[in-house]
A and B are shown apart, each in its own frame.
Chain A
Amino acid sequence: MPFEIFIALRYLREARFQTFLILAAVAVGVGVVVFLSALINGLQENLLATTLGSQPHVIVTRVEAPPLVLPDETHMIAALVEQPPARELILHDWSNVQRDLRTIPGVTAAAAVASGPALATRGAASKNIALRGIIPDEYDQIVKISSKIRQGRFALSGDQVLVGIELAKDLGIGVGEKFRIETSSSRAATFTIAGIFDLGNKDVNRRWVLSSLRVAQTLLDMPGGVTSIEVRTREVFAAEEIAVAIVARTGLQADSWIKLNKQLMTGLKSQSSSRYIIEFFVIIAVALGIASVLLVAVVQKSKEIGIMRAFGTSDRQVLGVFLLQGAILGSIGSVGGSALGAALAMAFRSVSRNADGSPTFPVAVTAGLLGATALIAISVGIASAAFPAWRATQLDPATVIRNG
């Protein structure tokens, strides 16, 4: 056994009550960091999953022309503000654009969507809907509809459509039943429900009707055209950079989910900031605890350190004895803290549940989180021990042996 480990372990064992207290403090600190990280990560992952469960990472559309403003005679106020016609927003050469988008680094999928407002009616019930024409296999790579079908199946051939679970309730219809869709261009058709989906977003579940692309193009009067190309990126948080690259490449308008959900992003950033501030102060408290215990140990053992120096113990060995104590406190404390963090996470999962008994959101204590926290705890242990260890090397053996 190396000299430094032999001495460090014995010193920690000798002051076992003090060691136990500081280990408990490190474990509580690590436990708080583990639990808080798992909680905030879970919360943020849940928020992102809910948001991006029904939303592409980037939406590419034609650049909207500015509204036409006709001034009155005095030129002081606008007499009329005319929005550009919807026809001007249709992408006709979309297949070329789609092919081009797929070559941009970071883009994993691109799917065309023809979408517009419509009215769904069944008997006396009618609802405003968003009719979205898609190519099923392509669109499934953007929003994973196939895994969110609650009844029926993921099929869009002929007169088949998919509807959200809320819309199905509102219209009182189920799989295999028929209803009518009418658009603002006075085109209408009757459709059969192939499946009912739940995208985890009430508004989307209440408004979306998914049909084949060709059906939507016909009903919305945009033969051969689409309203947008929706893009999925490899890295969720790279969406804004990729949107900028798309604008530069195509000259079209590209809006990332980050831009479209500014409030959510502000919330996520605030959560992260709060978490980092709390963790920072917890780590500082742990570091000060370790440093103070080791500083007291250096003072208490100054005579012993002097004796060891007298019989030939080098500065490096004295330094090692105290740095190792910091590392050992950090290591053992991180093991206890990880167990505490995992226990807190389990307790939270059992307490925080939805009405149906499912967890409100996942609080996952992952191996990566535990590894990162252990690394931080050991580093903090060593860093906290640095000053006491340096003080120990500065002791003059002759003086401390004589005076203590």
Chain B
Amino acid sequence: MAEHLLHLKDVTKNFGPKAPVLHGIDLTLAQGSFSAIIGPSGSGKSTLLNIIGLLDKPSSGAFQFLGEDVITMPPAELTRFRGQKIGFVFQFHHLLPAFTAIENVMLPLIAHAGRMRPEMRGKALEILAAVGMADKADAKATELSGGQQQRVAIARALVTDPPLVLADEPTGNLDTRNADDIFSLLRLLNQSKGIALLTVTHDQRLAERCDRIIEVVDGRIRSDRPNVALKT
């Protein structure tokens, strides 16, 4: 069995006095895995993704990431840890419009190092080439199509070589053809670079292309199954 990347045990999340959004979540992700979280709107998928992405903290329970207790980690250290270990791909790409494609990809590197260094451009260009966007490196983010912007966003998520990429509806804003292309790209990068990918999606068709499907309903994991059909 692959080594554990992260492990959540009995994780609960409350927002104020309202009923908990997540209850008793037990979840383990292996390094290099390719998993999907599915479920209806309001089921707690995004909250779970935010907790796994260290953007939010659980109200109770335990959470270890690469063997480290991230719940007790001081905020500044947690921010640095998140930057190094997790890449994010969002539904609406969220590229910074004032910057070119390559600058968007370089930003996480510059933020981590504290300053821009000449070798960063080479690294960013290499990742852009891997997502098929090398020829658009110097184009402004606003000059790119939706599919191209999402490819650049994927490059930005990968540039720090994180062991985990979280994707929140990464194809939700794209047409079917572009969605298939982006999903194929994510799958390719997962296989070639060994990066674990956890995606939240409403698209059952795309979920069926993942190795593992986790279904969240009413803040609980209703089912967590390997994708047998894919494996056969």
Closest 10 A-B residue pairs measured CB to CB? Answer: A312-B83, A14-B98, A398-B55, A311-B108, A398-B50, A313-B111, A2-B115, A307-B94, A1-B116, A3-B110
- B185 beta carbon closer than 8 Å to chain A: no
B98 touching A398, Cβ below 8 Å: no
- Interface positions of A (Cβ within 8 A of B): 1-3, 6, 10-11, 13-14, 303-304, 307-317, 397-398, 401-402
B115 touching A315, Cβ below 8 Å: no
- B88 beta carbon closer than 8 Å to chain A: yes
A317 touching B94, Cβ below 8 Å: no
B98 touching A315, Cβ below 8 Å: no
Choose from A2, A10, A315, A397 the contact partner of B114 (Cβ within 8 Å): A2
* Most chain B beta-carbon contacts within 10 A, residue among A307, A310, A316: A310
Residues in A with CB closer than 8 Å to B115 are 1-3
* Most chain B beta-carbon contacts within 10 A, residue among A303, A308, A312, A315: A312
A sample of 15 inter-chain contacts (CB < 8 A) reads A1-B115, A3-B115, A10-B99, A11-B98, A307-B96, A310-B82, A311-B107, A311-B108, A312-B79, A312-B83, A313-B83, A314-B79, A315-B75, A316-B76, A398-B50
Choose from B55, B79, B94, B99 the contact partner of A315 (Cβ within 8 Å): B79
A401 touching B90, Cβ below 8 Å: yes
- B190 beta carbon closer than 8 Å to chain A: no
Roughly how many angstroms separate A332 CA and B17 CA in the complex, as a whole number?
50
- B64 beta carbon closer than 8 Å to chain A: no
Q: Which residue of A lies closest to B90 (CB)?
A: A401
Q: Which residue of B lies closest to A5 (CB)?
A: B115
Tell me whether A311 and B83 are in contact in the complex, defined as CB-CB below 8 angstroms, given that A3-B111, A10-B99, A397-B55 are known contacts: yes
B100-117 interface (Cβ within 8 A of A): 107-108, 110-116
Q: Mark B78-101, 1 if CB is under 8 A from A, else 0.
A: 011011100110100010111100
Q: Which residue of A lies closest to B85 (CB)?
A: A312
Residues in B with CB closer than 8 Å to A401 are 55, 90, 94
Tell me whether A6 and B116 are in contact in the complex, defined as CB-CB below 8 angstroms, given that A312-B80, A315-B79 are known contacts: yes
Q: Mark B31-42, 1 if CB is under 8 A from A, else 0.
A: 000000000000
B82 touching A312, Cβ below 8 Å: yes
- B23 beta carbon closer than 8 Å to chain A: no
Residues in A with CB closer than 8 Å to B116 are 1-3, 6
* Most chain A beta-carbon contacts within 10 A, residue among B97, B98, B112: B98
Roughly how many angstroms separate A317 CA and B88 CA in the complex, as a whole number?
20
Roughly how many angstroms separate A303 CA and B88 CA in the complex, as a whole number?
14
Given A3-B116, A308-B111: 6 more A-B contacts, CB < 8 Å: A1-B116, A3-B115, A11-B98, A304-B96, A311-B87, A312-B79
Q: Which residue of B lies closest to A14 (CB)?
A: B98
- Total interface residues on B, CB under 8 Å, equals 31
Residues in B with CB closer than 8 Å to A397 are 55
Distance in Å: Cβ of B224 to nearest Cβ of chain A: 23
The A-B contact count (CB < 8 A) is 73
Roughly how many angstroms separate A23 CA and B28 CA in the complex, as a whole number?
54
- Interface positions of B (Cβ within 8 A of A): 46, 50, 53, 55-56, 75-76, 79-80, 82-84, 87-88, 90, 94, 96-99, 107-108, 110-116, 156, 160
A311 touching B94, Cβ below 8 Å: no
Choose from B55, B76, B94 the contact partner of A314 (Cβ within 8 Å): B76
Residues in A with CB closer than 8 Å to B96 are 304, 307-308
Distance in Å: Cβ of B178 to nearest Cβ of chain A: 21
Tell me whether A309 and B94 are in contact in the complex, defined as CB-CB below 8 angstroms, given that A3-B115, A398-B55 are known contacts: no
Roughly how many angstroms separate A14 CA and B107 CA in the complex, as a whole number?
17
Roughly how many angstroms separate A312 CA and B83 CA in the complex, as a whole number?
4
Residues in B with CB closer than 8 Å to A311 are 82-83, 87-88, 107-108, 111, 156, 160
Roughly how many angstroms separate A3 CA and B120 CA in the complex, as a whole number?
13
Distance in Å: Cβ of B104 to nearest Cβ of chain A: 10
Roughly how many angstroms separate A11 CA and B96 CA in the complex, as a whole number?
10
Q: Which residue of B lies closest to A397 (CB)?
A: B55
Q: Which residue of A lies closest to B79 (CB)?
A: A314
Choose from A6, A11, A304, A309 the contact partner of B110 (Cβ within 8 Å): A6
* Most chain A beta-carbon contacts within 10 A, residue among B79, B84, B88, B97: B79
Roughly how many angstroms separate A251 CA and B100 CA in the complex, as a whole number?
81
Roughly how many angstroms separate A6 CA and B80 CA in the complex, as a whole number?
19
Distance in Å: Cβ of A186 to nearest Cβ of chain B: 91
Tell me whether A317 and B111 are in contact in the complex, defined as CB-CB below 8 angstroms, given that A311-B83, A312-B83, A398-B50 are known contacts: yes
Roughly how many angstroms separate A249 CA and B38 CA in the complex, as a whole number?
94
Q: Which residue of A lies closest to B53 (CB)?
A: A310
Roughly how many angstroms separate A314 CA and B108 CA in the complex, as a whole number?
11
Residues in B with CB closer than 8 Å to A312 are 79-80, 82-84, 108, 111-112, 160
A402 touching B46, Cβ below 8 Å: yes
Residues in B with CB closer than 8 Å to A1 are 115-116
Residues in A with CB closer than 8 Å to B94 are 303-304, 307, 401
Roughly how many angstroms separate A8 CA and B88 CA in the complex, as a whole number?
23
Distance in Å: Cβ of A154 to nearest Cβ of chain B: 66
Distance in Å: Cβ of B94 to nearest Cβ of chain A: 5
Roughly how many angstroms separate A120 CA and B49 CA in the complex, as a whole number?
104
Q: Which residue of A lies closest to B87 (CB)?
A: A311
Residues in A with CB closer than 8 Å to B112 are 312
Residues in B with CB closer than 8 Å to A309 are 79
Roughly how many angstroms separate A312 CA and B86 CA in the complex, as a whole number?
9
Residues in B with CB closer than 8 Å to A14 are 97-98
Distance in Å: Cβ of B23 to nearest Cβ of chain A: 19
B99 touching A310, Cβ below 8 Å: no
B55 touching A308, Cβ below 8 Å: no
Roughly how many angstroms separate A401 CA and B97 CA in the complex, as a whole number?
15
Distance in Å: Cβ of B172 to nearest Cβ of chain A: 13
Roughly how many angstroms separate A187 CA and B111 CA in the complex, as a whole number?
93
